[in-house]
Chains A and B, each alone.
Chain A
Amino acid sequence: MQRLNGGAKLVSAVVLSGAVLLAAETRKEFHFTVGARPTVSVTNQYGSVSVKPATANQVTVTAILRSDKVEIDKGQSGNRVDLLSHLLDGANAENGRVDYELAVPSDASVILSSTSGPLRAEGLHGDVTLEGANTNVDVREISDAHVHVKTLNGPITLTNIRDGHVEITSVSGNITLHSVSGPHVQVNSNSGWIRYDGDFGYGGEYYLSSHTGDIDATAPQDASIDITARSVRGKVENDFPLQPKHTPFVVKAGSAFAGTMNRAASSVKLFSFSGKIHLKKR
């Protein structure tokens, strides 16, 4: 009897706590009808924001709120939709968490921020602006748009960005650019490393710089670039036979190199204070 009682208590405790969790966690869905090229902004405090393309001229938002310590303020003003996680008294990183999933028209511009939660955007051809303090960032399949990322920490990955106007600033996040090209690609890192793997497009300006982080750039043999690389206190290494160019740039074996490949259509500059720089053959 005693044992049965104990078992019953345990079961009821499990059922109860499950019920409490279920009651506390809520799922909300919002729909906004928008016109061409809308702007969608999500300001989250804790939790993830993920954006995918949808065909209809509609913004669909699914949000999981971890508790009633957090609310969502939402608003639409013309072609702009704003969502904001709004913390109430007693909220913390756990119970104040909201996870957002959005489906937006593919021509939408999105502005996403979260202090500590992954940010992800894919399949858009509108501008993407992402910001967060300790935030993983994953951006893929974006074309003909500005992609601006600002974080303090957390890895940043950009994949398949075409005709992009890319600007990344991060203090200690590691940055990976895979098949990223466009008229302007600028990465400003501090202690995080930068890895670029792509063909540097045709006719763009690429500027990858760090303080102490290493910079690796991997390109195919037919990349058309005019490159300068320099590390003030670190080493530089180059796997390509570059054509020398007339330049005031001081080429110093081991710490700087410069030259061109093929038609030198894109300008590439790699610079670090103490990180290692390596231009690799794919």
Chain B
Amino acid sequence: MTCAEFQQVLPEMLEGDRNTEHAAHLASCSACSDLISDLKAISEAARQLRALDEPSPRVWNSLEIELRREGLIRQPQREPALVPSRARRPWAWMVPVAAVLLVGFGIIVYQRGSDQQAEMAKNQAPVAPAVAVLPASNVSPSHRSDDDRQLLEAVGTRSPETRAQYAVDLNHVNAYIQDAEQSAQSDPNDEDAQQSLLNAYDQRAMLYQMALDRSLP
């Protein structure tokens, strides 16, 4: 049996279909026995690639928002039984606010148009284009300031310093959003401005999530 003949029957042989002729060739040909052991090693190493990678936390974040939107999750987030009742969060209302913030922002990007932008939004923030039924005005400046006031009141219950720090951070973030919005409006083709708007909203969502203390997966 030549190497070429051997290689022709190799697939069946690897499935267990082996005869004495094959065995004799293998015993005498190191190239073919190397080949067999390499193919086996590849097949065995392949198992290690199963469940190898951890998805980004944003996959669960988007999924959770979508499950809530579709009504599959039908109750507010459960409070851990071990936590004393005083630790219940008075700012639970912010969960939908944070969700709407992200969703509403997605609509702006979605309405603006191109597939590429929608794709960008999906990659950057937990957003599905299917949510375009909600009004985009959720993220108007007046809504922003209302939400911010409530957020500051809520974090203010922890300490005046916390409130002051959040106020400074919110100012930074809102200034960023304003700049990015202006640039994007003055030149709708300005991809940098579009991306910055995404970045600014990412920061705002992060800030709300931190205030909610529920940002980790």
Instruction: Give the interface of A toward B (CB within 8 A).
Output: 37, 39, 41, 43, 73, 86-89, 109, 111, 113, 115, 126-127, 129, 131, 133-134, 146, 148, 150, 152-153, 167, 169, 171-172, 188, 190-191, 209, 211-212, 230, 232, 271, 273
Contact = CB atoms under 8 A, between A and B. Distances in A.
A129 B169 contact: no
A146 B54 contact: yes
B173 A171 contact: yes
26 contacts: A87-B87, A89-B86, A111-B217, A131-B210, A131-B215, A133-B210, A134-B165, A148-B56, A152-B210, A153-B169, A169-B203, A171-B169, A171-B172, A172-B172, A188-B202, A190-B200, A190-B203, A209-B199, A211-B175, A211-B179, A211-B200, A230-B192, A232-B179, A271-B192, A271-B196, A273-B179
A155 to B, nearest CB: 15
B196 A273 contact: yes
A171 B207 contact: yes
Contact of B195 (A86, A131, A271): A271
A273 B176 contact: yes
Contacts, number: 87
A150 B195 contact: no
B113 interface: no
Nearest to B179: A273
A169 B206 contact: yes
Interface string B82-124: 1110110000000000000000000000000000000000000
B71 interface: no
The 5 closest A-B pairs by CB, nearest first: A211-B176, A188-B199, A127-B54, A171-B169, A190-B172
* Chief secondary structure at chain A's binding surface: strand
B216 interface: yes
A150 B213 CA distance: 13
Given A131-B216, A148-B56, A86 B82 contact: yes
Contacts of B210: 131, 133, 150, 152
Interface string B168-191: 110011011001100100000000
B57 interface: yes
Contacts of A87: 87
Contacts of A171: 169, 172-173, 203, 206-207
Contacts of B173: 171, 190
A37 B216 contact: no
Contacts of B195: 209, 271
Contact of A153 (B82, B84, B165): B165
B204 to A, nearest CB: 9
A129 B172 CA distance: 24
A40 B52 CA distance: 16
B176 A190 contact: yes
Contacts of A211: 172, 175-176, 179, 196, 200
Nearest to B86: A89
Contacts of A113: 215-216
A146 B56 contact: yes
Given A188-B202, A188-B203, A190-B203, A209 B196 contact: yes
A109 B54 contact: yes
A212 B196 CA distance: 12
Nearest to A86: B82
Chain B CB count within 10 A is highest, among A127, A171, A188, for A171
Given A88-B84, A109-B54, A172-B168, 9 more contacts: A86-B82, A152-B165, A169-B199, A171-B169, A191-B172, A209-B195, A211-B200, A230-B192, A273-B183
A51 B188 CA distance: 45
A273 B179 CA distance: 8
A212 B202 CA distance: 16
Given A37-B52, A190-B173, A111 B202 contact: no
Contacts of A191: 172
Contacts of A232: 179, 183
Contacts of A188: 199, 202-203
A129 B58 CA distance: 12
